[in-house]
Amino acid sequence: MITLNINNKPYNVNVSPDTPLLWVLRDTLGLVGTKYGCGMAQCGACTVHLDGTATRSCLLPVSAVGKMKITTIEGLSQKQDHPVQQAWLELDVAQCGYCQSGQIMSAVALLKQNKAPSDADIDAAMAGNICRCGTYLRIREAIHRAAELQRKKG
């Protein structure tokens, strides 16, 4: 039995320790907001936070999580009012929407480190997240907007 802290709640899971966190979230716990895209940390669709740091969950054995706090897209806010979610909605970023959980989790992690990222900072931080629909321009703009919303919020 492995105990995980996900979105500030304890979960006990009985899975093989080599199971990637992604599949524990999706198959075992039904937290399907975290997406499968490539299974080799190439596309970023599975991005979650471990103690606030963006991490690809598709390659991370659940046994390696230990006591670290896991945050998934479901735990970002109760009412879709996290500044990054708000900015995403304001700019109506999504097309198909499949990659956006991962994009948002990467963006939230970036804005924790860097309160006012430049385009170059955003490009570097977001280069690991593929959007097949090509919403990159709006993602970039939404990150700038989220930074602004975050500053206003203080």
Partner 1 sequence: MNRRSFLKSSTLAGGGLMLSFTWLSAFKSAGTTGIADLPGDWVEINGYIKITPDNTIKILNPNPEFGQNVMTSLPMIVAEELDADWKKVVVEMGPHDSVKLGPQFTGGSNSVRMYWRPLRQAGAAARHMLVEAAAQTWSVPVEEITTKGGMLYHEKSGKSGTYGSMATKAATLAVPKDVKLKDSKQFKVIRSAQKNVEGAKIVSGKPLFGLDYQQKGMLIAMIHHPPGFGMKLKSYDATAALKMPGIRDVFTQKLYEDGFEQGGFDTRSFNDLLVVVGNTTWEVMQARKQLKVEWEPAGETKDTMGGRGQKREVVVPGTLESTADQLKKMQEYAAKPAQQLRKDGDPETAFKNAAQIIERTYTAPFLAHNCMEPMNFFAHVTDEKALVAGPLQAPGWSEPTLAKLLNLPADKIEIQMTRMGGGFGRRAYGQYMFEAALISKKVKAPVKLVYTREDDMTYGIYRPMYTATYRAALDANKKLIGFHVKGGGIPEHAIHANRFPAGAVDNYLAEGWQIPSNITIGAFRAPRSNFNAAAEQSFLDELAEAMGKDPIDFRLKLLQRAKEAPVGRNNEYDAARYAEVLRLVKEKSGWGKPENAQYSRGVAAYFCHASYAAHVVDIVMKEGKPYVEKVTSAVDCGIVVNPDAAANMVQGAVVDGIGNAFYGGLTHKDGVPVQNNFHTYRMIRMPEAPKKVEVHFVQNDIDPTGLGEPPFPPVFGAVANALYKAASKRLYQQPYAPQLETPKAF
Applying CB under 8 A, the residues found at the interface with partner 1 are: 1, 9-16, 19-20, 23, 26-40, 42-43, 45, 72-74, 76-78, 80, 85, 88-89, 92-101, 104, 119, 122-124, 126-140
The residue among 65 and 94 lying less far from partner 1, judged by its C-beta, is 94
Nearest in space to 56 (alpha carbons), one of 13, 116, 99: 99
To the nearest whole angstrom, how small is the minimum distance from the Cβ of residue 53 to partner 1?
19
To the nearest whole angstrom, how small is the minimum distance from the Cβ of residue 58 to partner 1?
10
The residue among 34 and 55 lying less far from partner 1, judged by its C-beta, is 34
Distance CA 134, CA 125 (A): 17
Q: Is 8 left (phi over 0), alpha (psi -120 to 50) or beta?
A: left
Nearest in space to 47 (alpha carbons), one of 29, 28, 66, 71: 71
To the nearest whole angstrom, how small is the minimum distance from the Cβ of residue 153 to partner 1?
17
Residues in a beta bridge with 70:
6, 50
The residue among 45 and 50 lying less far from partner 1, judged by its C-beta, is 45
The residue among 78 and 152 lying less far from partner 1, judged by its C-beta, is 78
To the nearest whole angstrom, how small is the minimum distance from the Cβ of residue 4 to partner 1?
9
The residue among 39 and 68 lying less far from partner 1, judged by its C-beta, is 39
CB of 11 closer than 8 Å to CB of 3: yes
To the nearest whole angstrom, how small is the minimum distance from the Cβ of residue 104 to partner 1?
6
CB of 150 closer than 8 Å to CB of 111: yes
Bridge-based pairing state of the strands 69-71 and 2-6: parallel
